[in-house]
Amino acid sequence: GARSDLVAWDPHGRIRIKDELLDLAGIREEVWLVGALDRFEIWSVERYKQAQASDQASFEEAARYVGF
């Protein structure tokens, strides 16, 4: 997709992420690597925490809707 990139490991086991993708993701220093089936996602720590909180609220709402 437009918000992803296929990269290769360098000889030292590192990858280089384009500045535009780092800016888009709000990544400055620390990141979280999140497994996603056959790939991994790189998140800014703050944005990942926000997304998880939002997902948890949505899950709780759906659980109440179906009677859990």
pLDDT tens digits for 30-50? 999 888 888 888 999 999 888
- Between these two residues, 59 and 15, which has the higher pLDDT value? 15
Token readout for 8 is: 């290769």
Token readout for 47 is: 């944005």
User: In angstroms, rounded to a whole number, what is the distance separating the alpha carbons of residues 54 and 60?
Assistant: 10
Q: What is the pTM of this model?
A: 0.62
3-class DSSP assignment, residue 66 = coil
